[in-house]
Amino acid sequence: MVWRHDNEMQRMLRDSIEAHVSANHSTDRVRECREMRAGFDPQEWRAMADLGWTGVLLSEENGGTGLPLSEALPLAEVVGRNLIPEPFVASAIMAATVLNAADNKVSQVIAEPLADGSRVITLAFQEQTGMKGATVPSVTCKNGKLVGNKLFVPAWSDITDLLVTCILDGDLAIVFIPGNAEGLAASPAKMSDGSLMTTLEFSGVAVEPENILLQGQPALDALNLAIANGTLALCAQMEGLATAAFEITVDYMKSRVQFNQPISDFQANRFTMVDLNGEIELGGASWRQALLNLDENRFEAARVSISAAKARCSEMVLAVTKASIQYHGGIGFTEEADIGLYLKAALRLSPWLGGAVYHRMAAYDMYREGQVDAGK
Amino acid sequence: MVWRHDNEMQRMLRDSIEAHVSANHSTDRVRECREMRAGFDPQEWRAMADLGWTGVLLSEENGGTGLPLSEALPLAEVVGRNLIPEPFVASAIMAATVLNAADNKVSQVIAEPLADGSRVITLAFQEQTGMKGATVPSVTCKNGKLVGNKLFVPAWSDITDLLVTCILDGDLAIVFIPGNAEGLAASPAKMSDGSLMTTLEFSGVAVEPENILLQGQPALDALNLAIANGTLALCAQMEGLATAAFEITVDYMKSRVQFNQPISDFQANRFTMVDLNGEIELGGASWRQALLNLDENRFEAARVSISAAKARCSEMVLAVTKASIQYHGGIGFTEEADIGLYLKAALRLSPWLGGAVYHRMAAYDMYREGQVDAGK
Amino acid sequence: MLENNHEDMSILSDDAFRMKFRDWLETTYPDEWKNPVVFRLHGAEETRWLRMLCDGGFRCPSWPREYGGMGLGLRKQLIYHEELERIGAARNVDTGATLLGATIIRHGTDAQKQKYLPEVLNGDCLWCQGFSEPNAGSDLASLKTTAVLDGDEYVINGTKIWTTMAPFSHKIFLLARTDMNAPRPQQGISMLIVDDMKQEGMTVSSITNLNGEAEFAQVFFDDVRIPVTNVIYEVNKGWDVAKAMLGDERIFIGSPTLANQTFAVLEELISKMGKDTDTIFKAEVAKAFCDLNDLRALFAQVCDAAIRGVADGKTYSTIKMQASETFKRISDTLINVAQEYGPSVGHPDLDGFEKDILAFFLIARPSTIYGGASEIQKTIIARDIFGPPAKR
Amino acid sequence: MLENNHEDMSILSDDAFRMKFRDWLETTYPDEWKNPVVFRLHGAEETRWLRMLCDGGFRCPSWPREYGGMGLGLRKQLIYHEELERIGAARNVDTGATLLGATIIRHGTDAQKQKYLPEVLNGDCLWCQGFSEPNAGSDLASLKTTAVLDGDEYVINGTKIWTTMAPFSHKIFLLARTDMNAPRPQQGISMLIVDDMKQEGMTVSSITNLNGEAEFAQVFFDDVRIPVTNVIYEVNKGWDVAKAMLGDERIFIGSPTLANQTFAVLEELISKMGKDTDTIFKAEVAKAFCDLNDLRALFAQVCDAAIRGVADGKTYSTIKMQASETFKRISDTLINVAQEYGPSVGHPDLDGFEKDILAFFLIARPSTIYGGASEIQKTIIARDIFGPPAKR
């Protein structure tokens, strides 16, 4: 994709990341992490923090570098491209967005260990499958006690703390809950990529008043922005993943000889790969356009185009990795081949924050609502 | 499709038809008929009647040969394969099915000119787009007067008479209305294949008591069977059409040289045609299975499988004819090339009696209803 | 003589230019040509429109001002096209400006420039392009039309097909084989001009398309004589000239305009049919919507790349293929959603709906054939991804 | 000695046979193997099951009774498979009966029949098949394993891969090159038997698949010695023998069983997720339903044709490809409908739902690779439609 280019800051960031990744990361490490309890390595999380990854979005008051989202997304691409298992999007993008919005003394206290990589912060907001931004939570905070369940919470580990959405005095609120809080039960489920997706049950977890980070409209705005930023970063991550799988497959196809020619010479194979290349291009274009809308504060258009981008990228990353397996033949179905790691990561990322079927309809629904509003 | 075979009766019928068709029919005639007012040739309708086509399903009392549907369907295939514009399915299958169910003196009077080809009979029952069998009509028959509108009525012409569904004394009824009845206004619209699709407005058309052919459950059963038979015949017609378009395209691809080889040598083209061949096979298998269910009185299963077959065949006939245009290159986009006639006929047949999107969902809904019933 | 005496709009800000052209269009563009059911302007209509543009100072956006054009960069050219789309302008092929003119400016002699450019500018002369032949479609290099030198004239024999707007054109430029012994088929081809479509030996035979229009034709050359000065650039270098025609402007063939129009009709249709709340049909429209959204995003970004000068052949091929395939797919959706109304000739019998959806569907068919069939685009892209396949 | 002493079920009516087998299955089939989450029986489990069948008189439906089989025609074999599917039986590969046994019956010597058939019948001996090699997958004829005559022994060197159930098998039959100078790659290949997977020079190296199972292996042959009597049919005729293996029974690889199972899980899933009234997800399931419906129809009709003896290679290729592609597509739908639950290892954390949907998805992946990849099937079908492509 010669025709796309980074700006100065993006290029600097990308170069520094890629240097780190090629020195410290490999598919061997991906396999090792899959066997770890949390599916990622707290040591490496700290190393990433030292390079500024975990604080990339965090404001300077929060101990970060406060870069805009567009500058941070090359990181997400590299995370995707290299199957880096640490919870970059969940924590360094989504939780950080909420912390930036909170912007008070407590958020600084919470943000600091995220910035230095000693803790992971994750946002627990989802209570059902599929999603279209913020929904009214059933989790409540009454008399300082949090009650209810959250589903599909990513990035659960021994060093994870939580930002939890709940209803407080009839308003949406986001509260901070330490991972080891009393009354919190976690049921983590292992995913195809080795990561955990966790159901959290809050049975009267104490919420200190100073841990109420946001409430009312600011809470809703922060949640929506966190989901928007997270979805875009996830798109970038999926594009990175798909691009890497595509390249690995192209190389394999050029080397694999059947019937006296490399299988990359067979026209049907070539055309299928061209179609997939087109899907990657469309996915990449789609989330970049959505990012532009968000950057330029076209919120209505951004909502629509983020959903469209997520639909395309979710579908594309599966299409590319599935075809990659097919073109690897028997090899592709072995645990030993790296390409399977890409498929299993794609399976995890594709439905997270809402899958293709869901977002495609959501994009059109929101577009129509916007039109109807505009038409009033 | 060597592996499918006709039974004795089917083979006899097919041979006789094909002899007639090759002597009397051509794409020139298809073009001529498109310019005719009704989109078909009453002369040829009579010739087909002489060969027994119009009476193929009509019972012997009704002046026909009373063959079972399965024996009549090779005719529908030939009609599709040769783009025969006369309204075989609408009249000789659907209207005939109702007349057979009526089975009384009047039906004989009505059926006779159908059997001898002097008249066309068509069933006017549809009042909205998409369909899933019989629906409660809004057309009413009160005090001997028919009032209301029918949409998408096929086979309208100077020699067409009508069987109309309506509500009579709170029951579904099917009544006979001569095409020239007073109070009947027809608004025919020309379709891509030259045929007419007609909106009929009944503003107090007189219904003679003896022209009430069927009422209550028998009317409903007859209507459902007419739609079922018509849908299956339409599937057979679409399979015939798709098969012919496929063969024409294969021949063209073998003769068209680009880059020093016939375009049939390009693997991507070959594989796409293989996929389309698979769709034709699935479509053919699907309607034959549905026919078997209907023949063996498995009505629940028949309803499901007829919808599935219609979905597959409707989609398949468009896929095949669209690809046929693409593989004909510029030639395919000229009025002069025959292949365009196939596309235009496919456009007409595909949505008639309900399109693919509709029937796919209907098939699954009916299957689930059946399961739920069975589960009770 | 050629100089554009109108205001130099290349020095305006993008927004100022956009508003200037928009104002002009809003006061000038004929209502009867808006949101056309007829897709393209022909003949006298086209001449009228080109003259209006010329009089307004909005003619030939890409030509340098010294040749009478507007001298706009690619970004302003894109704005120009966006504004035409916004007003719902009918398409016109304008082969004279976009292909012939650009080529003459780049490769023509002074005499050719003096002779041909002014009459293109004021719309007096409409051109058509003679490249494809009955047996040289996607495989253009296998063309067989010959031009044999006879004194100071070339004598042309052969035939061209799919010559768009030939029945309405005054002149034609074509590729013909001038060296029958060249080692490779791409060599020995020259680009030639025939100054009069009605001159002796010329026959134009209209071809009616599936939609009933006669916009293109087969053109026969039977001992057609032209002066040697009617060669563009050098003899036997026609292939290079033809390739050079595919400049930045080929990006416009990847524009989502037709897909946009079709989608607008789709939305109107589903609403008129009362199916806009029917989830199952809405899902089809949602798919079309997302396809279009992403195509537009890709087009915008490829345009940026083209403006930066970094768009490559693979990128142009990608956007061309995606644009035509999306147009086709959305027109398919239009037909599917229309159900029984789909095959209606003219327009469906639906109150207040007057769009010819069948025409949209039919006109979309060849979009993946002309201007480089999808198969050709895929071959180009595959070569970029994998390298060329081994010769066997 | 080989004769089947059980009742001759080939003379029963189809219905009587069906009910007889059904009754036997219902009283005999172990509950713990029903509707398996583990897909296939291995090793000792398989031996136990084969012995149960043998004792019940239901072993080797296609073998003639004189060799101890049931001597059933294709129609009754289909009924046999339908009843196994009905009870939710686990699949077992049974290479010994379906491939090796059938081949020995057709091409083996009397000694080979006496030696090999009884132990296949009673389940004592499990076989695996050594065809594919690391560089000879779809292109089987390019295999490189050699067998060199040394006295009255062949000495085998080389390696086989994707050898299904090799870790659980006692014996292997393989293709090896016995004439290195044959003019065409298909010539000079023989089919050989190695009587002991543990004999000197044999190494079986398990390969773990994406689903974490170790059902297949790479098998290495390092100076493995076998007697010349272990050649099946004639020396250098192994290719013909291998092709002849693809008899009527290859229809079973086109069976919709796996697609059926996957669809049943899909329905259970959507209901457990409470999405069975959500139109947009239901539409995905409806598509899967229709795909399955049509596949089943096609399979039934191809079976009829096979029974009539008129199914040709194109038809077998079509049903194989459709069955595997449909299985794969429905498993894709399963994952899509599951949304966030899709990637769960084991099974999703959904009350009362214990199906491993990820395993269904992963196991579907190679279905379009093994047994003739979809690309190979398409090549075969295309040859039937168009004839072979010209040599260039």
Taking CB atoms and an 8 Å cutoff, what residues of chain D touch C283? 279-280, 283
| Residue C231 and residue C263 share a domain | no
| Residue D202 and residue D74 share a domain | no
Tokens 């080979």 found at: D112
| Residue D265 and residue D361 share a domain | yes
pLDDT in tens, A100-154: 999 778 889 999 999 999 999 999 999 998 876 678 899 999 999 999 999 999 9
Taking CB atoms and an 8 Å cutoff, what residues of chain A touch D210? 325, 333-335, 340, 343-344
| Residue C299 and residue C370 share a domain | yes
Residue D142's domain comprises: 127-237
The CATH number that applies at residue C281 is: 1.20.140.10
How many angstroms separate the CA of residue A324 from the nearest CA in chain D?
Answer: 11
D354 touching chain A per CB within 8 A: no
| Residue C367 and residue C256 share a domain | yes
For chain D, list residues with pLDDT below 70.
1, 36-38, 248-249, 391-392
Q: Which of B191, B330, B334 sits opposite C343 (nearest CB)?
A: B191
| Residue C366 and residue C258 share a domain | yes
Q: B282 and D389: CB-CB below 8 Å? A: no
pLDDT in tens, A282-316: 999 999 999 999 998 888 899 999 999 999 999 99
Interface probe, candidates D266, D270, D339, D350, chain A, greatest A C-beta count within 10 A: D339
pLDDT in tens, A317-366: 999 999 999 999 999 999 999 999 999 999 999 999 999 999 999 999 99
C108 within a domain of the structure (yes/no): no
Number of structural domains (chain D) is 3
C-contacting chains (≥3 CB pairs under 8 Å): A, B, D
Taking CB atoms and an 8 Å cutoff, what residues of chain D touch B356? none
Taking CB atoms and an 8 Å cutoff, what residues of chain D touch B271? 375, 378, 382
D279 within a domain of the structure (yes/no): yes
CA-to-CA separations, A240 to A78, C9, C280, in angstroms, rounded = 6, 42, 33
| Residue D191 and residue D132 share a domain | yes
- CA nearest A315 in D: which residue? D336
Examine the fold and report which residue of D92, D107, D141 is the final residue of a domain before the chain moves on: D92
Q: A266 and B267: CB-CB below 8 Å? A: yes
Burial track D43-67 (b if 16+ CB lie within 10 A, e otherwise): eebbbebbebbbeebbbbbbbbbeb
Q: Which of C207, C275, C339 sits opposite B351 (nearest CB)?
A: C339
Q: A129 and D369: CB-CB below 8 Å? A: no
ipTM above 0.90? yes
How many angstroms separate the CA of residue B250 from the nearest CA in chain D?
Answer: 7
Q: D358 and A258: CB-CB below 8 Å? A: no
pLDDT value of residue B15? 86
The CATH number that applies at residue D46 is: 1.10.540.10
Q: Which residues of C are catalytic?
A: 249
Taking CB atoms and an 8 Å cutoff, what residues of chain B touch C212? 335
- CA nearest D290 in B: which residue? B308
Interface probe, candidates D209, D210, D377, chain A, greatest A C-beta count within 10 A: D210
How many angstroms separate the CA of residue D259 from the nearest CA in chain C?
Answer: 25
Q: How confident is the model at residue A374 (pLDDT cuts 50, 70, 90)?
A: low
B-contacting chains (≥3 CB pairs under 8 Å): A, C, D
D323 within a domain of the structure (yes/no): yes
How many angstroms separate the CA of residue D122 from the nearest CA in chain B?
Answer: 37
Give me the tens of pLDDT residue by residue for chain B, a chain 376 residues long: 467 878 888 888 888 888 899 998 999 999 999 999 999 999 999 999 999 999 999 999 999 999 999 999 999 999 999 999 999 999 999 999 999 999 778 889 999 999 999 999 999 999 998 876 678 899 999 999 999 999 999 999 999 999 999 999 999 999 999 999 999 999 999 999 999 999 999 999 999 999 999 999 999 999 999 999 999 999 999 999 999 999 999 999 999 999 989 999 999 999 999 999 999 999 999 999 999 999 988 888 999 999 999 999 999 999 999 999 999 999 999 999 999 999 999 999 999 999 999 999 999 999 998 876 654 4
Examine the fold and report which residue of D174, D209, D237 is the final residue of a domain before the chain moves on: D237
* Stretch C25-38: mean pLDDT: 83
Question: 3-class secondary structure for chain A?
Answer: CCCCCCCHHHHHHHHHHHHHHHHHCCHHHHHHHHHCCCCCCHHHHHHHHHCCCCCCCCCCCCCCCCCCHHHHHHHHHHHHHCCCCCCHHHHHHHHHHHHHHHCCHHHHHHHHHHHCCCCEEEEECCCCCCCCCCCCCCCEEECCEEEEEEEEEECCCCCEEEEEEEEECCEEEEEEECCCCCCEEEEEEEECCCCEEEEEEEEEEECCHHHEEEECHHHHHHHHHHHHHHHHHHHHHHHHHHHHHHHHHHHHHHHCEECCEEHHHCHHHHHHHHHHHHHHHHHHHHHHHHHHHHHCCCHHHHHHHHHHHHHHHHHHHHHHHHHHHHHHHHHHHECCCCHHHHHHHHHHHCCCCCCHHHHHHHHHHHHHHHHHHHHC
pLDDT in tens, C45-57: 999 999 999 999 9
Residues in CB range of A116: below 8 A, 6 or more apart = A46, A49, A54, A63
pLDDT in tens, C225-235: 999 999 999 99
H-run or E-run covering D373: none
Residue A67 to residue A74: CA distance in whole angstroms: 12
Examine the fold and report which residue of D237, D258, D280 is the final residue of a domain before the chain moves on: D237
Q: Which residues of A touch B (CB under 8 A)?
A: 266-268, 270-271
| Residue C297 and residue C263 share a domain | yes
The CATH number that applies at residue C215 is: 2.40.110.10
Interface probe, candidates A258, A271, A273, A326, chain B, greatest B C-beta count within 10 A: A271
| Residue C350 and residue C253 share a domain | yes
Q: A283 and C308: CB-CB below 8 Å? A: no
pLDDT value of residue C38? 53
| Residue D260 and residue D176 share a domain | no
C32 within a domain of the structure (yes/no): yes
A-contacting chains (≥3 CB pairs under 8 Å): B, C, D
Q: How confident is the model at residue A370 (pLDDT cuts 50, 70, 90)?
A: confident
The model's pTM is 0.95
Interface probe, candidates B264, B270, B271, B275, chain A, greatest A C-beta count within 10 A: B271
How many angstroms separate the CA of residue A266 from the nearest CA in chain B?
Answer: 7
How many angstroms separate the CA of residue C265 from the nearest CA in chain A?
Answer: 15
Residue A265 to residue A213: CA distance in whole angstroms: 58
D104 within a domain of the structure (yes/no): no
pLDDT in tens, A244-275: 999 999 999 999 999 989 999 999 999 999 99
| Residue D230 and residue D259 share a domain | no
Residues in CB range of B44: below 8 A, 6 or more apart = B24, B29, B86
Residue D60 to residue D121: CA distance in whole angstroms: 7
- Which residues partner with B215 through β-bridges? B173
Q: A270 and B268: CB-CB below 8 Å? A: yes
Q: Which residues of D are catalytic?
A: 249
How many angstroms separate the CA of residue B314 from the nearest CA in chain C?
Answer: 10
Judge contact between C241 and C233, C-beta under 8 A.
yes
C-alpha of C295 from chain center:
19
Domains of chain B plus CATH, in order, are 8-119 (1.10.540.10), 123-215 (2.40.110.10), 218-368 (1.20.140.10)
pLDDT value of residue C342? 96
Residue D8 to residue D264: CA distance in whole angstroms: 35
| Residue D149 and residue D83 share a domain | no
C161 touching chain B per CB within 8 A: yes
Nearest to A248 by CA among A161, A134, A339, A315: A339
Taking CB atoms and an 8 Å cutoff, what residues of chain C touch B322? 332, 365
C349 within a domain of the structure (yes/no): yes
D294 touching chain B per CB within 8 A: yes
Per-residue pLDDT at A156 exceeds 80: yes
C102 within a domain of the structure (yes/no): no
C98 within a domain of the structure (yes/no): no
Give me the sign of the Cα torsion angle C140, C146, C147, C148.
Answer: positive
Q: Which residues of B touch A (CB under 8 A)?
A: 266-268, 270-271
Strands B160-168 and B120-124: parallel
